Each structure stands twice: as structure tokens, then as C-alpha cells.
Amino acid sequence: MQKSKKESRFINREISWLSFNERVLQEADDERNPLLQRVRFLGIFSNNLDEFFRVRVATMKRLVDIGKDSKVILGDVTPQDVLDQIQDTVIKLQLRFREIYQKLLRELDKVGVHVIDELQLDTIQGEFAREYFTNELSPLMVPIMLSRDKSFPYLKDKAIYLAVKMSVEGKPKRNKYAVVEVPVGNNPRFVVLPKRKGLESDTYIIIVDDIIRYSLDDIFFMFEYDKIEAYTIKITRDAELDIDDDISMSFMEKMAISLKRRNIGQPVRLVYDERMPVDLFKFITKQMDLGEEDNLIPGGIYHNFKDFIKFPSVDAYLEVQNPPALPHKDVDDHSSIMKVLRKKDILLHYPYQTFNHFIDLLREAAVDPYVTSISITLYRVAERSKVINALNNAAKNGKKVTVLIELLARFDEKANLKWSEKLQESGVRVIHGVPGLKVHSKIALIHRKESGRVRSYAYIGTGNFHEGTANIYCDEGLFTTNRQITAEVTKVFEFLKHNYRRFNYRHLVVSPYSMRKQFMQLITNEIRNAKNGKPAYIDIKLNNLVDQGMVNHLYSASKAGVKIRLIIRGICSLKPGVKGMSENIEGISIVDKYLEHSRFVVFGNAGDEIFYITSADWMTRNLDHRVEVACPVYDDDIKKELRAMFDIQWSDNTKARILDSEQKNDYKKTRAVKEHRAQIEYYDYLKNLK
């Protein structure tokens, strides 16, 4: 069937996301990366795919289940069309994944790191494995016998199970089936084995699954069988939260109940060892009432490859050697951050520069006798959050502390409930979001009495207040005392405290009220400049570009002659370089050792460039259904830093892939003799700033 003209204008967001995850898989296959980093990229790919099924595939299945056959997101496709395409794409990616995994095992062997299974253990290692099973694993295991006469046991989301078959030769009716969960919640997935005599320089590692396979006789010794075998299975469940509408309960109570329900969500995928005997496979799928429409994905011996993110660090030379985070050139270990900010704005570029400067600002504010209040929005924080500690200390020191903590931050809901309680115990005023809107902005505000008036210190960022991810996510954080900006950050917090209040903003761009309109107008301004023969261009760096209205307006700008360059890490529904539609648009995506997460936009403005950093991607949810903040950059030095970042990234010919309508993920090649790797070059740029 011929595709409609409208459909051909866009790439479906789900398929574009799978293309992004393919770029992650490419990093596992890139021999320029250290070997253990490549292994961990397999873990990142697997973890990404798990979340994709738990959220996006679950959403598509819900639409199918309720019989909704309308167009989905972009293009003239039904939810079932999308699910079918996802299934085909995922199976291809899984095959590629297994090829790369086997290749990495061979390369690890060459450098003396051997991942072995239960059949390759020598005598000493076998004794060690048996003892490890007895002491560490056996007390945690609960094998469950399976029968057609009783209901199939509930399999937890994200857990790993071994489906066990016990058979008596020539007597299939006496076959017995069982299932046992692999206990890796608080236990390592990998176990380093004793050295082998004569090979003391080599390292031997076994996956816990294989220790259990080695010890199956110890688990099922009471049964009669000639052969016992075990095959890995993993179920992925719908992770969407259904919030109860009972008005008698608080939102926190509703969240707690909803989180418990998540644990029993509907299955959206079953991944299984393709070597599994047909009778065992049919028994499991029938008892679980699963069919082909439930995404039955054949796989290898092992699942939950996300655990490979924590593959043992056996040799430093096989690891990524990241340089230490830099201090900002205007801040030293003994600087008062607020004193520096009274002189000039600063922009921190994480992870190249240290997040400790923000922690130091909070700590300083917590004890400064002239600081009266601190306000902040929290979406995700570290497990042992220094940010939370500083806010608690500030409240205990008599500061008025207000924290908006977003309870609907996906997969961090439980942690945020816990933090809410701890903050309230310290006397912090905690706000739980805005009805109907998720608060995704990254802002903080400090009020300090100075010379008879109150001076405001504001922080506007592109990433979370999370010292852990700040070590691996590329983000921007603007510190400013600019009165125009701080006054409007104050307005945002007033809105968050009192949702009935509405404000006008002349400097900040705030969704859901003005962001779409403001960026549309700025694009229109570039179209006007192009038609008037003036220089017209837009440089856009985002995680995701999906919103149909924004994409269509960029197409219009391209037709008018506006030169547009895109650096999009993840989903890109726009098709660059299509004749008659987007020939003035080019796009790249960078996947490297750090996660590209910063978001900023530059408008040419006839030679007087306009810069915005933003917490929002150009997705409908961010523009219309979330509280997001974009902030103009007025400082000329900071503008130069952002301009340098974009230009350095655009010149990347090592880790940049070309974004095109076919989603081929070809590496960007240039005529430059020198290799340019943006993440290394930008670190050097900041290091040499004077």
C-alpha cells in the first residue's frame, strides 16, 4: 500500500528510538573503545530495551487492547502496525547483540579474561562454585514445581528465572517442570573464580546462572530423573502507573498503592533461551496465556544483560580512563560561590566541570546567616544525595526551604516518596507537583539579605540535581544573579506554590504556557530574515525532536532557506536532507563515553545570536504537559562557550552518526585528516580557558 504524503514527512518515534539504541549497540562493537567499556555498552543497550518495553511497548499494547486503531503519534499507522515493526526490529537487534557478545568473549579471552560456564570449571573452581552456591545462593532460592493442575506462579518484572526440565529417558509422561528465580537483587551477577595453576595472570569469571546450573542436583535431589536442564526466561511487564481517583486518599497514598500495582502489570515481553525444548516452551506459554502478540523474543543463554554494566573491573587498562572533573576557572576550593556570582554569571558544563560547585553553593547557603530562603525543584536525585543533605541542614539552620519533588518521575517514584518524608521530617516545605502537569524544570533559588535589600541567586539547568549522573551526563548549569532572570525564577516558584497564579515572562520561556509559541516565533524570525536576504540559521542540540508542530515549522524554515543543524542524541522524527522539504537541514547524533544530555538552541538573529539553555526536549509532552524552563544566555563569555561546544560537536568525525530518513546510522566522515572526538576536545577546550 502506498504511504500517504503526510506519513512520509516523519519517522515514527518508537522506531527512531530503536535506531538510537542501535547506536548504543554500535559502541559495543567499536574496537576503538576499551574492551570493558564495550561490554558495559551491551548492558546499557539491554537496560534501555527493557525500559522501552515496559513503557512504550506497554502503551502500544494498551491501545491495541482497548481497540483503538487511530493514528499513533506521527504517521498513518495503527498501534498494531507499530508493534509488528518493533518486533521485527528488536529480533534483528538481538541477533546483532548476540554476535557482538560472542565477539567480545573471544576478545576477552585473548587478554586473559575468561567468562566460562558450568561445563568449563576445573576441579578447584567446581568446588568453589558448589561452596558459593551453598553459602550465598541456596538460602535465597525458592524452587517452584509446575503443574497443569495449578495456576502458574507469578513471575516478577525484570527478574531472571531458570525454567527447569527433569526427564526420564523414554518416559515423557514422567517429565517434571520447575521454575527458580536467580537471586541477584543484592548479590553480584558475576563471580570471580580461583586462578588456575600455571595461569595465575588470567582471570576466570562465571555468571551466577551457571553456578545454579552446576548445582541443580543439589536443588532437586529428591526427584527421580536421568537428565536435568535449565533455560533462562525473563518477563517484562507494563510499568505505567494507574493512579487511583479516590478523593479520600492523599496523593502520596495513591502513589504508594499504584507502585505496588506496577509489580503485577500485564506482560509485554517474554525473552527465552531459544534452545529451550519445545515441550517446556509450550507448557510455559500456555500456562501464562501468552501468544505471539505478547512479544515472544528468542534469545541466548543469558538475559538481563543490564547487569553487564557492573561487569567486574579486572584490569585498569581495559577500562575508560576519564580525566578528573575540572573546577570552573573563576572558582577555587576556598571561593565563596555567591561572592563569585556577585561579580559575574558562570555556566558549568558537566561532567567536564565539577558538580561539587553546586553542592558547595547549597552548603554555603545552608550556614550563611544572611540567607533567608532556598527553593528548588527535584526530579531525580542520587541514592545518597548530598543535595538532600544540604537542604535538610539548611532547614535545621532556620532557613525557609521549599522543595518541589516530582512524585511521577518515572522509576524514581518510590525513592521520591522516601525523600519527601525525610525532607518533611527536617522541616522542609515539600510540594508534590502541579495537578495535571509533571514538573521537569531544573531550577533553584536562594534569597540573601545584602545591604538592606534581598539579592537573589538562581540556578537554571538542563539536567537533574544528581551528583551521580553529573559524572557521566553532559549537562549545563547556569548560575546567575541577573535581576531580570532571578525575578522570573521567583515567579516560577510562586506558580509552583500557588497554581492558581499566572505570570508573564519576558526573559524565561516557560512551558506549558509560552515555550511552544516563543520558539515558533524565533523560527519565524529566521524565516523572515532568510526571505529578506539576511543570514538565517538555527543550531539545535536536544535529546529528542518529536513534536509534529515544531518539526513542520523547521521544514518551513528549511524551504525558506534557513540553514538548520541538529545534534539529536535520541529520537528524531524529522527527516533531514529530503529534497523539497528539508534540504537545508542536517543532523547528527553523538553516542560516546558520556551521555549527551544537554539541551540548548541558537538562533542566528541576523548576526546577533540568541542562546537558550533548556530543560525541555521538543516533544509534545514537554511543550504542552510539563513545567519546563528555558533560559536566555546574556553573558558573552558563556555564549562563546556554548558556541564552541556546538561547533566542536559538529566537527566530530569519530563518534557522530548521520541522521537521515533511512536511519542507517552511518558514522560521519569528513575530509579532515585529523580525527575529532568532541567529548575529548571540549574537555581540553575548557581546561585551557583563561
Per-residue 3-state assignment (H helix, E strand, C coil) for 352-409: CECCHHHHHHHHHHHHCCCEEEEEEEECCCCCCCHHHHHHHHHHHCCCEEEEEECCCC
Long-range interactions of 60-66: CB distance < 8 A, separation 24+? 60/14, 60/86, 61/238, 61/266, 61/268, 62/238, 62/240, 64/293
**Cα–Cα dist 682/663, whole Å:** 27
Cα–Cα separations (whole angstroms), residue 594 to 470, 591, 597, 655: 10, 8, 9, 11
Query: 559: closest CA among 574, 588, 534, 580?
Result: 580
**Whole-angstrom Cα Rg for the chain:** 27
User: CA angle, corner 592, sides to 610 and 327, nearest 5?
Assistant: 65
Cell 501468552 belongs to: 290
Hey, what's the torsion of the CAs at 552, 556, 558, 561, to 10 degrees? -170
**Cα–Cα dist 96/205, whole Å:** 23
**Cα–Cα dist 442/237, whole Å:** 30
Q: What is the separation, in whole angstroms, between the first and last Cα of the chain?
A: 61
**Cα–Cα dist 580/582, whole Å:** 6
Contact 599/477 with Cβ under 8 angstroms?
A: no
- Buried (b) or exposed (e) across 593-611, using 16+ Cβ within 10 A? bbbbbbbbbbbbbeeeebb
Q: Count CA atoms within 13 Å of residue 33 on its CB side.
A: 22
Number of residues that this document lists for the chain:
690
Annotated catalytic residue 440: yes
Find the catalytic residue in 303, 328, 357, 440. Answer: 440
Q: Compute the 3-state secondary structure of the chain and give helix, strand, coil in percent, each to the nearest 5.
A: 40, 20, 40
**Cα–Cα dist 615/406, whole Å:** 15
Rounded to the nearest 10 degrees, the angle between the axes of helix 548-560 and helix 515-531 is 10
SS3 of 422, please?
helix
Residues with a catalytic annotation lie at 440
